[in-house]
Amino acid sequence: MHMADALLSPAVGTTFWAGSMGIIVYCAKKLKENIDERMIPLMGVLGAFIFAAQMINFTIPATGSSGHIGGGMILAALLGPYAAFIVIASVLTIQSLFFADGGILALGCNIWNMGVYPCFIAYPLIYRTMVKTGSGSRRILIASILSVIAGLQLGAFSVVLQTMLSGRSELPFSTFVYMMLPIHLAIGLVEGFITASVINFVKSMRPEIIESISLSRSLSQGVSIKKVFTGFLIMAALTGGVMSWFASSHPDGLEWSIEKIYGKPELPEQEHGIAPALKQVQDKTAFLPGYNFKQSDEASTKLKGGESWPAIGAGTSVSGIIGSIMVLGIILLLGAGIKILKTRRA
Amino acid sequence: MPNFDKEYFNIGYLDTLSYRQTFIHRINPGIKLVVTLVFILIVVSFSKYEIHRLMPYFAFPVFLISAGEIPTGVILKKIFIVSPFVLFAGMFNPMLDTTIVYTISGVPVSGGWVSYVSIIIKFILTISSALLLIATTSFPGICSALEKLRVPKVFVMQLLFIYRYLFVLAEEAMRIVRARNMRAFGKHGRDIKTFINIIGTFLIRSIERSERIYHAICSRGFDGRIRLLRDIKFKFTDIIFALLSVSVFIILRMYDIAELIGDAVLKF
């Protein structure tokens, strides 16, 4: 479910980066205020545990194929939302660097998709409200399954949204949703079952462990649902606002489809109402207008001129291809040259 | 896929690469991090029909591979392993976007194919630059750079802790898997019930380990932060590297080098 750099537009990527970074800073502040010191090594080791546990495969019931755990909800149940979010974020960071899962720009989206939903939606709204200190194992089972499914569905849906907003993939919205959601429903069932069983296992084997962890994090009060909701609404409004801004200055996906309808890369402009006012703001604030880092006049007239943009004349396209091949050849030759020089010197 | 796990978790190798001594390895980690970020942002900023404009950007990974003495095969393999999601998400472009944008000697090429290829190229560029960052920079170096960039301390410490115990716990997991394989015939022992017992025990062991670590670091005077032995400073070459590479990226973003070269060739 890792989002990838190549499917993102800079606007979507940076927006989610900012969002995820903001939440990391918020969680760090929360933890700093009231953390037991022993939580620090515990968080680190549990992060490493998530990696290591993913190396151990099991057979998925009824399919025969093998899978591994995700582990987000185990962390949330053990550590509480703030610490769990930091652990998930750091695990994803290391995954994006060492395993190239997703990529560095997509890291923001990935932390959002796999961290925010389980820690700040599913955990406080479902798990925490259902499971109290004395809850039985069946209750834990139901709560885990429901919360894991909710977290995964939101995450999967958000992957679809990010892909759509970026406009790099042509995958139709409904097809993408139909593909992602059922798969993650099945994954969520299995993952939820495992989450509950692991928690119950630890509880029955070493009940004092869970108690001592919950004691050391009892300093930090639970997440208030009201705060979560308002915070999420503000974030949604912000991301929505920023996103729609950028989307309207998008030179690709959107314009491409608009062009198919109108024959022009831009919609006929509205003369009054909120749109022109917004456009003015956007013209003033968009720091990469249309993402063309200030092109030369000639290029921009070519863009806006009579010829619609993607219809490149045959001549230019041929020169583009020849140029590409030559550039690539030169780069590879130079690279090989440096390598040969280096080995000779060594 | 027995090989998948082996490849996927073969992170120790990238880590050993990062301790080599080349000009690239010696550049300030923070500078390398920022330059890589700028590179990725600029690469993804191209619209989906501009394949030829992406080509010059291969210079960056190729330069890092050659000057940083990184084996090309390793990087290519890692890219290949993580490719399925992108290949899937772009798969529908050729089917759904059938407008002809190029005609190469009579063969029409639809916009969908062009955008699919551009997604794949972007994927290769962004993933390879992330891998090369870690292959040419030690992870503690990156962490101290993050700390300087005002990333919260708890988060940076978390990264360092995971990095430290990743290898320890991965080895433990490998021992567990080996033990399970030796006791079980074929598919036995891989069922979900056994798995839960294994994971549960492993979790308890890990928590106990963290308690031991806590006692150990406390007795050594842990006060909530991890210190690096030497402070990483800016050097003249760092600034040169940053200025040069970023300005090259921006120039390539502004001017269509590939087409200029192609034009020049056609005029001959």
Note the pLDDT tens digit of each residue in B129-169.
988 998 898 888 888 888 888 888 889 988 988 888 888 88
CA distance B14 to B18: 6
Question: Which chain B residues have a beta carbon less than 8 Å from that of A90?
Answer: 155, 158-159, 162
Nearest to B52 among A101, A103, A323 (CB): A323
| Top-confidence range, A121-135, A146-160, B44-58, B227-241 | A146-160
Backbone angles phi, psi at B107, to 5 degrees: -90, 115
Query: When comparing pLDDT for B43 and A296, which is higher?
Result: B43
CA distance A61 to chain B (A): 7
Residue pointed to by tokens 């590479």: B245
Task: State the pLDDT confidence band at A127, using cuts at 50, 70 and 90.
Answer: confident
pLDDT(B127) > 80: yes
**Can you tell me the mean pLDDT for A138-142?**
90
- pLDDT for B49-75, tens place per residue? 888 888 889 999 999 999 888 888 888
At B14, the pLDDT band (50, 70, 90 cuts) reads: confident
Is the pLDDT at A26 greater than 60? The verdict is yes
Q: Is A5 on the interface with B (CB under 8 A)?
A: yes
| Probe site for chain A from B39, B60, B78, B166 (most A CB atoms < 10 A) | B166
Residue A56 confidence (pLDDT) above 70: yes
Cross-strand partners of B104: B107
pLDDT digit string (tens) for B216-263?
988 988 776 667 666 667 788 889 999 999 999 999 888 888 888 888
Is the per-residue pLDDT at A236 higher than 70? no
pLDDT band of residue A84 (cuts 50, 70, 90) is very high
In 3D space, the residue among A117, A219, A115, A27 whose CA is nearest the CA of residue B155 turns out to be A27
Residue A111 scores a pLDDT above 90: yes
d(CA A250, CA A286): 11
Question: Is pLDDT at A85 greater than 90 in this prediction?
Answer: yes
Q: Which of A27, A89, A53, A51 is nearest to A217 (CA)?
A: A27
User: Is B40 within 8 Å of A213 when comparing Cβ atoms?
Assistant: no
Do A59 and A66 meet the contact criterion of CB atoms below 8 Å apart?
Answer: yes
**Residue A258 clears pLDDT 50, i.e. is over it:** no
Residue of A nearest to B79 (CA): A100
Distance CA A47, CA A37 (A): 16
Instruction: Please say whether the beta carbons of B68 and B131 come within 8 A.
Output: no
Pairing of β B107-110 and β A66-67: unpaired
CB pairs under 8 A between A and B: 376
Residues A12, A298, B53, A267: is their CA dihedral positive or negative?
positive
- Smallest Cβ–Cβ distance between A327 and the set B99, B194, B261 belongs to B261
Average pLDDT of chain B is 84
Residue A240, pLDDT > 70, answer: no
Q: What is d(CA A128, CA A144) in angstroms, rounded to the nearest whole number? A: 10
**Is a pLDDT exceeding 60 seen at residue B205?**
yes
Alpha carbons A42 and A40: distance in angstroms, whole number: 5
For residue A171, what pLDDT is reported? 78
Three-state secondary structure call for residue A55: coil
Report pLDDT for A142: 92
Kindly report the nearest CA distance between residue B229 and chain A, in angstroms.
20
| Distance, CA of B121 to CA of B212 (rounded, Å) | 47
Amino acid B244: pLDDT: 92
Q: In this complex, do A198 and B199 lie within 8 Å of one another by their Cβ atoms?
A: yes
Helix (H, G, I), strand (E, B), or coil: what is residue A175?
helix
Q: Do B161 and A41 touch (CB under 8 A)?
A: yes
The verdict on a CB contact (< 8 Å) between B258 and A59 is no
Helical residues (DSSP H) of A263-296, grouped into ranges: 274-285
Cβ pair B154:A319 closer than 8 A: no
**Buried b or exposed e, range B14-52, using 16+ CB within 10 angstroms:** bbebbeeeeebbebbbbbbbebbbebbbbbbbbbbbbbb
Cβ <8 Å between A334 and B62:
yes
B5, B56, B170 ranked by CB distance to A327: nearest:
B56
Nearest to A95 by CA among B8, B88, B18: B8
Quote the pLDDT of residue A297: 40
Which tokens in the block code for residue B187? 């598919």
CB neighbour list of residue B138: distance below 8 Å, 6 or more residues apart:
B18, B19, B29
Does residue A250 have a pLDDT over 50?
no
Q: Which residues of B touch A329 (CB under 8 A)?
A: none
Instruction: Judge whether residue A245 has pLDDT over 60.
Output: no
- According to the model, what pLDDT value does residue A251 have? 38
Helix or strand run (H / E) with residue B152: none
Which run of H or of E encompasses B103? strand B100-104
Provide mean pLDDT across the span B2-30. 73
Shortest CB distance from A170 goes to which of B112, B134, B160?
Answer: B112
Residue predicted with more confidence, A298 or B139: B139
Q: What is the arithmetic mean of pLDDT over A73-101?
A: 88
> What's the DSSP call for residue B102?
E
CA distances (Å), origin A140, targets A132, A146, B145: 9, 10, 41
| Integer Cα distance of B195 and B201 in angstroms | 10
**From A66, which residue of chain B is nearest by alpha-carbon distance?**
B190
A chain contacts of residue B185, beta-carbon cutoff 8 Å: none
Do you know the residue count of chain B? 268
Mean pLDDT of B104-118: 80
Percent of chain B with pLDDT over 70: 90
B contacts of A28 (beta carbons < 8 Å): 152-155
Q: What confidence tier does B266 reach under pLDDT thresholds 50, 70, 90?
A: confident
CB contact under 8 A, B169 and A209: no
Assess contact for A69 and A53: CB atoms under 8 A.
Answer: yes
Q: Where residue A90 falls among pLDDT bands split at 50, 70, 90? A: very high
Provide Rg for chain B, Cα atoms. 23
Rounded distance between C-alpha atoms, residue B57 and residue A150, angstroms: 40
Q: Which phi and psi angles does A123 have, rounded to 5°?
A: -65, -55
Task: Look at B48 and A168 and tell me if their CB atoms are within 8 Å.
Answer: yes
State the Cα–Cα distance between residues B115 and B95, nearest whole angstrom: 11
Residues of A in contact with B168 (CB under 8 A): 48
> Is residue A274 predicted with pLDDT exceeding 50?
no
Of the partner residues B120, B218, B265, the one whose CB lies closest to the CB of residue A322: B265
Max CA pair span of chain B: 76
Per-residue pLDDT at A248 exceeds 50? no
Instruction: Decide if B170 and A55 are in contact by the 8 Å CB cutoff.
Output: yes
Residue A268 confidence (pLDDT) above 80: no
Residues in chain A with CB shorter than 8 Å from the CB of B8 are 99
Contact B97 A170 (CB under 8 A): yes
More confident residue, A25 or B101: A25
Interface of A with B in 144-183 (CB under 8 A): 163, 167-172, 175-176
Greater pLDDT, B257 or A85: A85
Give the per-residue pLDDT at A166: 86
Contacts of B22 in chain A (CB under 8 A): 342
Q: Higher-confidence residue: B92 or A315? A: B92
What does the DSSP assignment read for A178-200? HHHHHHHHHHHHHHHHHHHHHHH
Mean pLDDT computed over every residue of chain A: 73
Query: Which of A45, A260, A312 has its CB closest to that of B165?
Result: A45
- Give the per-residue pLDDT at A222: 53
> Where residue A329 falls among pLDDT bands split at 50, 70, 90?
confident
Whether A100 contacts chain B with CB within 8 A: yes
pLDDT over 60 (residue A308): no
Q: What is the pLDDT of residue A291?
A: 35
Return the structure tokens found at A197: 């069983």
User: Does the pLDDT value for residue A24 go beyond 80?
Assistant: yes
